[in-house]
Amino acid sequence: MNESRFLVTDFFIVKNRMNTIKELIEVGSTRLAKCGSVSPRLDAEVLLASVLNCPRITFYSDPGRTVSFEDAEEYRRCIDRRAALEPVAYITGEKEFMGLVFQVSQDVLIPRPDTESLVEAILEKVIPQIKQNTEHPHVLDLCTGSGAIGLSLKFFVSSAAVTLTDISGKALKVAAENALNLGFSNITMIESDLFEGLSTAEHFDLIVSNPPYIPDGIIPTLQRDIVDYEPILALSGGVTGYDLYERIAREAGPYLRKGGAIVLEVGNDQEIKVAELLEEQGFGAITMIPDLTGAVRGVVAWKE
Ligand code: GLN
């Protein structure tokens, strides 16, 4: 290491020596706090951990470790991007979901902890019921994006046969990469506008979806991290927000086996209307899934 190298940047504590992890975290998080990040220290730590390719825990055991000039520069570029409110997951290229690491790019929505509540409820309540009919549940994840829902279900229910669809071919490429990274070689992926690309001969035990559901008028009011960076295609649910729910409720019937379930993520206060849309199409035994804040985040309905 070249201890005398001068680190010339616009915000690092420039000293006539290498910077330590502690200094880089401090200076990075101070900058991010000023730029409007709600979790500046965590962001700085995650970005530095990604650059150094080490777990964050090592920062606590060895805060005085020095960082090479090249790595510090790379970290500065990451901090610059986050300071412009780019989501951390797009900068590092990955996001943890259900304890698994998913690759993400701006072609896909970043998987949210809220959606983990949905997957957990499916694993605890829906799959056991489906398993009374079949040992090999056929699962369809519509609007899959990064594949987070369908692939984590495959991870925890290894006997499942999983199909992922998305209208975006670019999103499906990300999902395919994630399937590969998780070691799954038998995932079916179909570029399709909802059910359009599926054969009516396909019958699923579970249809799950986190479709775009934000009303168009609300989109400009979302956090800048979201509006400026995440794909509008994955967010926009049309003028009312219910466009995709209406279509899914109307079109799902022929693709769902009797005794099968449909599980939809919903946005704030959308559950009653979504439940009505499903009931109108003959689905029943409707239950709601709360997220970690206690708000309803999912609706479950059955083809009885
Ligand atoms: N939950 C996402 C958000 O808060 C929206 C996801 C969606 O539209 N399906 O921005």
* Per-residue pLDDT tens digits for 118-131: 999 999 999 999 99
Query: Atom 9, ligand 1: which residue's CA is nearest?
Result: 212
The predicted pLDDT at position 5 comes to 39
Q: How far is the CA of 268 from the centre of ligand 1 (A)?
A: 10
CA 126-208-222 angle, 5° bins = 120
Are residue 34 and residue 170 in the same domain, yes or no?
no
277 and 218 in a common domain: yes
**Whether 127 and 48 share a structural domain:** no
pLDDT of residue 16: 52
Residue 15 shares a structural domain with residue 154: no
- Evaluate whether residue 179 is within a structural domain: yes
160/279 same-domain check? yes
Task: Please report the pLDDT score of residue 6 as a whole number.
Answer: 39
Last residue of a domain, one of 85, 117, 151: 85
Q: Quick check: 123 and 157 in contact, CB under 8 A?
A: yes
In a domain, 209, yes or no: yes
CATH number of the domain to which 7 belongs: 1.10.8
286 and 162 share one domain: yes
d(CA 245, CA 264): 8
Same domain, 150 and 287: yes
Q: What is the CATH number of the domain that holds 181?
A: 3.40.50.150
Q: For the chain, which residues score pLDDT lower than 50?
A: 1-11, 13
Contacts of 97 (CB under 8 A, 6+ apart): 111, 115, 116, 148, 152
What pTM value is reported for the model?
0.92
Are 119 and 232 in the same domain? yes
Q: For residue 233, what are the β-bridge partners?
A: none
Query: 259 CA to middle of ligand 1, Å?
Result: 29
Do residues 173 and 288 both lie within one domain?
yes
Q: 12 lies in which domain range?
A: 3-85
The reply to whether 289 falls in a domain is yes
Closest atom of ligand 1 relative to the 112 alpha carbon: 1
**45 in the same domain as 172:** no
- Minimum-distance ligand 1 atom for the alpha carbon of 265: 9
The predicted structure's pLDDT at residue 17: 62
**Alpha-helix runs per DSSP H in the chain:** 21-34, 40-52, 57-61, 69-83, 88-92, 113-121, 127-130, 148-156, 169-181, 224-227, 243-251, 271-280
CA 267–ligand 1 middle distance (angstroms):
7
Domain boundary among 50, 85, 120: 85
pLDDT tens column, 112-171: 999 999 999 999 999 999 999 999 999 999 999 999 999 999 999 999 999 999 999 999
- Phi, psi values for residue 52, rounded to 5°: -85, -5
- What is residue 1's predicted lDDT score, i.e. its pLDDT? 40
Asked whether residue 287 falls in the same domain as residue 164, the answer is yes
**In the numeric block, which tokens belong to residue 33?**
């706090």
Same domain, 80 and 154: no
Domain membership of residue 100 (yes or no) is no
Would residue 99 count as lying in a domain?
A: no
Cβ atoms 51, 75 nearer than 8 A: yes
**Alpha-carbon span 300 to 296, nearest angstrom:** 11
The answer to the question of residue 234 being in a domain is yes
Residue 211 to residue 194: CA distance in whole angstroms: 9
Answer whether residue 102 is part of any domain: no
In a domain, 90, yes or no: no
- The pLDDT, as a whole number, for residue 2 is 40
Residue 212, annotated as binding a ligand: yes
Which residue has tokens 């979790």? 39
Per-residue model confidence (pLDDT) at position 69: 85
Domain count along the chain: 2
